[in-house]
Amino acid sequence: MEWRDQGVILSIRKHGETSAIAELLTPGHGRCMGLVRGGRSRMQRPVLQPGNFVQATWRARIEDHLGTFVFEPLKLSAGTIMENSFRLSGLTTLACLAQALPEREPHERIYDAFRIVLDAIDDDDLWPALFVRWELGLLDELGFGLDLSKCAVTGSREGLSFVSPKTGRAVSSEAGEPYRDKLLRLPAFLLGGAVSGSTDIVSGFKLTGYFLERHVFEPRGLEMPQSRQRMIDELAQRTH
């Protein structure tokens, strides 16, 4: 068995004295793992970092085996990201959340959006909002998508300002105002509007985070990555 695909490295862990096991997110083969022989060598270590894009060749005798990876670097972003704590928290969170995807199941939309976020990560005014949209897409790909198309109470497509934590459906300002303390805020940028500032994006992360906790992490007995809260805390301190 052999295939070639490009992908972004999600994680690396040591294996034996000289090798490593790499986890890769690819457009055509989903989230995959494989052994990288000599992966702990001085030559390979700069390539084998989360956030780097590579051309991968995967080989195995039988499809169900772990298999081996051989990587060719395409874009080595990890080094510069690691120099910035805010961006590093974003990268770490992206990689952790992508691990919720089923192994070896293609999710090309999620991969493409992952690349868009990382390609923009040197622009702190842009990538956090893209990240929130990526989390919405992840929920959708996992079967827990939110319905933000119209008000769950009135059917109106105008003035959508809240989301019901029970149903994941949008609620208009008029219908939701009496219950605003029990509803989640729906920032306008998730409906195609402009981002009004960091507070807007933090609200977006609170919205997606609620449903990620409820549908993805709690049922598996897992906790949300701490890097996500560090990212949100730093975002909340920023003013625009």
Q: What is the pLDDT of residues 170-227, one digit of tens each?
A: 999 999 999 999 999 999 999 999 998 899 999 999 999 999 999 999 999 999 999 9
Q: What is the pLDDT of residues 78-118, one digit of tens each?
A: 989 999 999 999 999 999 999 999 999 999 999 999 999 99
Fold of the domain spanning 2-76: OB fold (Dihydrolipoamide Acetyltransferase, E2P) (2.40.50)
The residues of the chain that CATH labels 2.40.50.140 are 2-76
Q: Quote the longest CA-to-CA distance of the chain.
A: 63
Q: What is the DSSP string of the chain?
A: -EEEEEEEEEEEEEETTTEEEEEEEETTTEEEEEEETTTTSTTTTTTSSTT-EEEEEEE-SSTTS--EEEEEEEE--HHHHTT-HHHHHHHHHHHHHHTTSPBT---HHHHHHHHHHHHTTT-TTTHHHHHHHHHHHHHHHTT---B-SS-TTT--SSSEEEE-TTT-BEEEHHHHGGGGGGSEE--GGGGT-----HHHHHHHHHHHHHHHIIIIIGGGT----HHHHHHHHHHHH---
Rounded to two decimals, what is the model's pTM?
0.94
Mean pLDDT of the chain: 95
